[in-house]
Chains A and B, each alone.
Chain A
Amino acid sequence: MSDYGISTTINKKPSTKIKQKKGLGLYLRNNWILYLFLVLPMLYFLIFKYAPMYGILVAFKDYNMFDGIMKSPWNNFATFKEIFGMADFYRAVRNTFLLNLLDVIFGFPAPIFLAIILSELKYRRFKKFSQTVLYMPHFLSWIIIGSISLQLFSAQTGIINIAVTALGFEPIKFLTNRFSWIATYTSLGIWQSVGWNTIIYLAAIAGINSELYEAAVVDGAGRLRKIWHITLPGIKPTIIILLILQLGRMVAIGFDRPIAMTNNLVIENSDVISTFVYRVGLQAFQFSIATAVGFFQSVVGMIFLVTTNYIAEKSGEQGIW
């Protein structure tokens, strides 16, 4: 049978069949390299992204490390019932939401203010210098930031408390008191990300039609007025879409930041889903529980993402797909 599959069926038009096969053959001859290129990347996704999804089954079994996933006995939803009865689980979920919410309330507006401030700066060289400095914390790992914070916020030798006591107050236990810790956690998050997050807003501000500003000056508007009536509305679409995206990630939380800042004294507020999974799964080896919690997080996270994306599309902005 040649490549060009000459059909002997009476009903088919031989010429069309030849054309189809010729097309496919030609296509493959021209494009086989593309498929070759894709082999390794697709293997990567299959092995490192999709294979672990199979591991989710651990949440539905009494996992035994020696029996492996296949041979461990099923326990259906028993693990889930167990985690929904664990106080630590609710604590982790609560902390995740709380810390993420604070990040939204305080961490979300901050880059907007900073971007507006930066865009209003007149001296270009100072502006460039400031931006370089302000972007820099984004590149520091949370271990570095956490280590710095241990020194900075130390109740005894930290520079901040030196200033506080010099003003006559009692030293503040930034890292050892549960509630001050939350403030410290949020503030450090802002310190780390506010500069970098201005980039998108600065780009949006640069995209505002300058004629609007000129018209406002003619109407007698001062600097603040121009900001309020032109700049802010001009970047509103950007603000909305970024807000929606951030809300979509309310259930997700990184690992480095909480781990870098936690200690046994604040664990009531610092244990989040990611650290919970680590503690329970890889330190206490309760694989089924940890997997179940992780799966719970993935599912709830998907629901949040899909919902907020739906809202985004409905409000007229382009979604993330």
Chain B
Amino acid sequence: MKSDFKNKAFDYTITVITFILVVICLVPLLNIAAVSFSSNAAIMARKVLLWPVGWSFYAYQAVFKDMEMIRSLFFTIGLTLAFTVLSMFMTILAAYPLTKKQLKGRNAFLVLIVITMYFSGGMIPDYILIKNLGMLDTIWCLLLPGMLSAFNLIILKTFFSNLPESLEESAFLDGANHATILFRIVLPLSTPVLATLSLFYAVGRWNGFMDALLYTTRNDLYTLQLKLYQIVYNSMSLEVSQVEGSWAGDLIPESMRAASVMFATVPILLVYPWLQRYFISGVMIGAIKG
């Protein structure tokens, strides 16, 4: 009896703790959503907690009227799609040959690739390279430098090498060559891992900020995150500028900043629940290898 009670008490505590953590997780987003829909007066009067006070759509009107935001959104969507296709193409091309044990030079290739995971030229040499290739301020600097992730490559290679060899052997006997095998046999069997890796690439590109910051100055090449950074950060928050004693400058109302954040976040939140399980299975495959 007593242990039964202890068990129940334990379960209850665990559930409460988890619930609290879930709430803590959600509070920031609820708050930002609330601020984005609130009137400025209410925000400054410190009345806005988790629900809008003084309902106002002014902030969203401003955001949706901002053509640069809209353009940045569509640009980033298109960029993400193109990048994902390109990256998956390269990753598949690289992973398949590296699973073939008979490939001469296989170890050399693998070593070369693994080295790049642990050592790189650095921010400045990368910048100099992009500059010398004439890719600054073009779409190529957002597509090419990141298009092959060695980490994703290893995940795919591991998956390919776990496919039964007999399939390929019988295909060879039937007169198929490697290209046929790859496209007709291996890829159709790999759809889960292909989906997962596509999502890894897509999320990485969608959240990508640093390369756009470093390599682009043209407005129409700004990724969504960079655009958000400019809106939110280049107008300093009220208190920072006050403490610094600097001029208030072009202050953007809190509600507008919050609306911009929501604009950049909602797409992910909409898509995320459906895609969640692909990410988890990808982590598992990666973890088993690593």
Chain A interfacial positions (CB closer than 8 Å to B): 27, 30-31, 33-35, 37-38, 40-42, 44-45, 47-56, 58, 68-69, 114, 117-118, 120-123, 126-127, 129-130, 132-137, 139-144, 146-152, 154-157, 159, 162, 173, 175-176, 191, 195-196, 199-200, 203, 222-224, 255-256, 259-260, 263-265, 274, 277-278, 281-282, 287, 290-291, 294-295, 297-298, 301-302, 305, 320-321
A interface majority secondary structure: helix
Task: Provide the bound-state CA to CA distance between A123 and B284, in Å.
Answer: 23
A58/B125 in contact, CB under 8 A: yes
Task: Provide the bound-state CA to CA distance between A45 and B120, in Å.
Answer: 11
| Additional A-B contacts beyond A35-B97, A134-B21, A142-B209 (16; CB < 8 A) | A31-B100, A33-B177, A34-B100, A44-B90, A55-B128, A56-B122, A117-B14, A117-B18, A147-B232, A195-B25, A203-B284, A256-B209, A263-B240, A278-B123, A291-B125, A294-B122
A152/B28 in contact, CB under 8 A: yes
Residue in chain A with minimal CB distance to B132: A68
Enumerate chain B residues within 8 angstroms of A114, measured Cβ to Cβ: 21
Q: Which of B21, B147, B273 contacts A130 (CB 8 A)?
A: B21
Instruction: Indicate whether A157 sits within 8 Å of B119 (C-beta atoms), given known contacts A38-B97, A199-B284, A264-B240.
Output: no
Q: B65 at interface (Cβ–Cβ under 8 A)?
A: no
Q: B114 at interface (Cβ–Cβ under 8 A)?
A: yes
Q: Which of B121, B258, B272 contacts A53 (CB 8 A)?
A: B121
Q: Which of A51, A120, A122, A150 contacts B129 (CB 8 A)?
A: A51
Task: Provide the bound-state CA to CA distance between A170 and B153, in Å.
Answer: 52
Q: Which of B214, B261, B272 contacts A136 (CB 8 A)?
A: B272
> In angstroms, how far is the closest chain A Cβ from the Cβ of B273?
6
Enumerate chain B residues within 8 angstroms of A162, measured Cβ to Cβ: 46, 49
Cross-chain pairs A/B with CB under 8 angstroms, 19 sampled? A35-B97, A41-B90, A42-B94, A45-B148, A52-B129, A53-B125, A55-B128, A117-B18, A118-B18, A123-B15, A126-B15, A141-B209, A150-B257, A155-B239, A159-B50, A175-B240, A256-B210, A259-B210, A281-B123
Enumerate chain B residues within 8 angstroms of A51, measured Cβ to Cβ: 121, 129
Enumerate chain A residues within 8 angstroms of B15, measured Cβ to Cβ: 121-123, 126
B97/A298 in contact, CB under 8 A: no
Task: Provide the bound-state CA to CA distance between A265 and B272, in Å.
Answer: 35
B interface majority secondary structure: helix
Stretch in contact with the other chain, from B67-75, B158-166, B190-198, B262-270: B262-270
Enumerate chain A residues within 8 angstroms of B133, measured Cβ to Cβ: 47
Q: B184 at interface (Cβ–Cβ under 8 A)?
A: no
> In angstroms, how far is the closest chain B Cβ from the Cβ of A116?
9
> In angstroms, how far is the closest chain A Cβ from the Cβ of B189?
18
